[in-house]
Structure 1
């Protein structure tokens, strides 16, 4: 491990170190109950994104603010989203998840969707949050696709281009072409099929309503059998890329690692089945502003450990530690008394 990299302190339970077990476990276990309020944030181009705010929220407008970006076809219901939002909320932070276009409770309006390099909506959100909470410390986290997007945005804006104190990036496919290749092989095809099913169903409904300017019909859409094919025929033409290769090249954030100026934590598992094992060997060294923590095991957004007599997400514990370190500089708020983390199977 080089000086720029650190071993994460995640230790999987005995017998549960397998990458696929770690990846699938969070979907099989209870997750926190978490109330929310829903807000529609209008965008400059006439479209919108849906914000889900964890409730109850702090009354103090200076309370620190945690912003979460989900992964491909993720949502407030995703296990990692519920755990991370609940962890931030119980730590006294105002916590919000931004659904990418069309991933909330309603289809988006414009003939487009979202993609891994689409930073404009997040940039607009940060500007709005800065207007509402100008004195609040703000930290953002992105998971998987959301992590690649967040890292790209942070690199584009430099150290002072966002009202953001720090960023956290989890299990991000920083080389999109390599990730597409990894998902097309072996057991990982299970994940690819799952993602493709969700993507195709959403696009199918919009094609049937004649809402998307795509050169394929529903039958051709349903025959797309890989994420690379989907990106060739759907993602690329909808968002101004020549093809999937052009999209992967222009949207991947990995080549920007050396130019990151904002304090950024990157968490990655060497056995993540969504990407090659040597991912960071083929990317530029991170800048001094980046702390790269690599776990030998953990799968894709898995990181389930044995704690307090049950399986629990190490990511929630790691987030609590990170937010605690940030909050030292923002002592004007206090954690509400009497709050406890409850869980449900929903």
Structure 2
């Protein structure tokens, strides 16, 4: 018997080791989604002349998006790497910061980065960019995108969300909110006055995508001289998005907690401006509820909605969501999302898909991989400095700039401005 045990036990232990290794490999394969294959984006749009032109002129929309082999197929790792690193080998574009006083005493700030060469169309084109939640022009993903756009002949103006810049104090008891377009409108108005011959390209990332689509849909005049709009990784409906943020599916509740903690720290860094003085709309009780908050919804209810006098959280979310305005956008509109974005539930994507099915100016692009604002590309392990997102936005905008093929010289810019303004004025609104 002892002899049999001496021969069978090592074999048993070897079997356990093999099973343990197999289990670990299985978990790794599942967590990294290694069995998933690269695929072209899923595109929803009407069969129009513009749509066919864009698909022909933008090869990145029809070819496979290939993320880094070892980790790029995990939406969580794409999202976490974007959140922790931003981008690799980040450039440092040089710009000029502009301070604009607002009617309520707030001070809007944005940075202007001049183009590093002429645009291929011969036009003067300015990208007006709205970053994600609590972000600004100094964030690495913004710097990378701005540098790439500058090199392709675009001037860039980047909004710094109110209260987001480090070491810049608030001048009124108000911060940026989910859908307030005041600061973005002020920046666009300044650019139009400072560069009267420029055409505009509107770009929004995550929360910024909600703001820019809402801004364009609020008024037809906001679309004057706008060539197109691009929105990346937004959720479209704040009320539905916050409901899904309370779910544990795809660890959204954990992401919610992390984002709430960052937002809480940002608000508390401006405690003296927001929670003191007779003009403040928030009180000590709101401060206590803020400190105890563990979700963005709790922060929005205790503080954020009160900056604009909303009586309830539901009213705040409904009035500030672009889903109620985006159907009024008449200029070409590119909406980009990722299927494995852990922050944006798939149910929210019914909004852009339905819009693209009904409106001839809308194209909805859904990638299989990319996470939330990741979209890293690379061979095996190390990602490239430029992401798929950076390149596809500029490629799309380049195509839009070539679309009308107007006359050369000054008449070209004049004709383009007139055409853009005419489109915004006469296009039917849903």
* TM-score for the superposition, normalised by structure 1: 0.85
For 2:342, the equivalent position in structure 1 comes to 273
Aligned residues: 333
CA distance in 2, matches of 1:246, 1:306: 43
- Report the RMSD for the aligned CA atoms in angstroms: 2.9
What pairs up with 1:293-312 in 2 under 5 angstroms?
A: 293-306=365-378, 310-312=382-384
Deviation at 1:207, TM superposition (A): 3.4
Matched, 1:193 2:254: no
For 2:240, the equivalent position in structure 1 comes to 178
What pairs up with 1:1-346 in 2 under 5 angstroms?
A: 3-4=44-45, 9=63, 10-15=65-70, 16-26=72-82, 27-28=84-85, 29-30=87-88, 31-54=90-113, 63-105=124-166, 106-158=168-220, 161-186=223-248, 187-208=251-272, 210-211=276-277, 212-215=280-283, 216=285, 218-281=287-350, 284-286=354-356, 287-306=359-378, 310-312=382-384, 313-328=387-402
CA distance in 1, matches of 2:177, 2:262: 14
Deviation at 1:67, TM superposition (A): 1.2
Q: Aligned to 1:304, what secondary structure does the other structure show? A: coil
Instruction: Give ranges in structure 1 of 5+ residues lacking alignment.
Output: 334-346
Larger mean CA deviation between 28-37 and 129-138 belongs to: 28-37
CA distance in 1, matches of 2:287, 2:44: 51
- 1:42–1:102 Cα change, 3 Å: same
* TM-score for the superposition, normalised by structure 2: 0.70
- 1:177–1:92 Cα change, 3 Å: same
Q: Is the 8 A contact 1:270 1:278 kept in 2?
A: no
Q: Is the 8 A contact 1:169 1:267 kept in 2?
A: yes
Q: Is the 8 A contact 1:101 1:114 kept in 2?
A: yes
- 1:189–1:97 Cα change, 3 Å: same
Q: Is the 8 A contact 1:88 1:323 kept in 2?
A: no
Structure in which a larger fraction of residues adopt strand: 1
Deviation at 1:83, TM superposition (A): 1.8
CA distance in 2, matches of 1:160, 1:208: 35
- 1:12–1:207 Cα change, 3 Å: same
CA distance in 2, matches of 1:3, 1:58: 34
- 1:161–1:324 Cα change, 3 Å: closer
Q: Aligned to 1:185, what secondary structure does the other structure show? A: coil
Deviation at 1:224, TM superposition (A): 0.9
Structure 1, residues 14-65: CA drift from partner, whole Å, max 9, x if none? 2321111111223334222322322212223332111122367669996311
Deviation at 1:276, TM superposition (A): 1.1
Choose 1 or 2 for highest CA Rg.
2
- 1:173–1:8 Cα change, 3 Å: farther
CA distance in 2, matches of 1:332, 1:223: 60
Structure 1, residues 279-308: CA drift from partner, whole Å, max 9, x if none? 222564332111111112211111111269
Instruction: Give ranges in structure 2 of 5+ residues lacking alignment.
Output: 1-41, 47-54, 56-60, 411-430
Larger mean CA deviation between 165-174 and 254-263 belongs to: 254-263
Deviation at 1:88, TM superposition (A): 0.9
Larger mean CA deviation between 278-287 and 225-234 belongs to: 278-287
CA distance in 2, matches of 1:299, 1:39: 33
